[in-house]
Amino acid sequence: MQANDTVYQETDLAAAVIGGVAFSSEGPSKELEVSTPYGKVPVSISVIGGRNVLLMSRHSGDNGHLPPHRINYRANIHAIHELGVRNVISTNSVGTMKNHPVGSFFLPDDFIDLTKNRPSTFFDEKTVHVDVSEPYCPSIRDLMKDSLEERNIGFSEGVYVCTEGPRFETKAEIRMMRQFGDVVGMTGLPEVVLAKEMNMCYASICTVTNDACGLGNNKMTVSEVLDTLADVDERLQDVISDVIEALPEKSSCNCKYSTSDSEL
């Protein structure tokens, strides 16, 4: 089904949730395929926190699971924009380079982009300078913090460093990056920048799944990451449900002014 076959408007969809975690819905899901200038994107619409929500798995591809450097970030964000969704909640898994306990949550307040080969803007034909002085929406982040605190769930804040992947980082790279960052991941960029270019309210809640390379006692494995994600899944769903339920009809943040381009 194509996006233009739907009747969903901005007032119908409270938020979009991007990630690889399967969230529990409060009703049946509606599957859609959204056509964008960058390709087609499968999405579903479910009910979370009593409100209609767009769900998107960023790693989904025609041939199965897409590695971080092959994700079509522009198509994903453009699809959300086409469906009139303003609020975006991103879930990510990260390795800690400092004292952020494995199994806790991390809310980025800034980022360092060390990706190399990913298309990172919608503006290939003209110059548009998007404001990323406050890359993550403060209003959504406050709702995340409120939920985590009320539920007595451990979390921390700081700088997210994004690398190209799909390999893990070297010990030398981690020694360098921990001088200016707190956690390291592979999926946060250019997603947040593309959302800012669309003047969206975007915030990320990260699960700290492992110690970064060279900082733990054992060799890093994918199974370690998956085990931690499974352990925190219920808590993550609870927090996201709280945030969606509490989202205001109109935000007081400045995200909608990230770019003044009149065509958006």
What pLDDT does 29 receive? 81
What pLDDT does 26 receive? 62
What pLDDT does 261 receive? 55
Per-residue burial over 74-99, b = 16 or more CB atoms within 10 Å of its CB, e = otherwise: bbbbbbbbbbebbbbbbbbbbbbbee
With beta carbons less than 8 A apart as the criterion, state whether 84 and 6 touch.
no
What pLDDT does 217 receive? 63
What pLDDT does 114 receive? 98
With beta carbons less than 8 A apart as the criterion, state whether 62 and 177 touch.
no
Radius of gyration for the alpha carbons in the chain, expressed in angstroms and rounded: 18
| Residue ranges in the chain modelled with pLDDT below 50 | 1-11, 21, 262-264
What pLDDT does 230 receive? 80
List, in order, residues 6 or more apart from 204 with CB less than 8 Å away: 89, 90, 91, 92, 107, 108, 136, 160, 188, 192
CATH of domain 3-249: 3.40.50.1580
Can you tell me the distance from the alpha carbon of 39 to that of 16, in angstroms, rounded to the nearest whole number? Answer: 18
DSSP symbol at 12: T
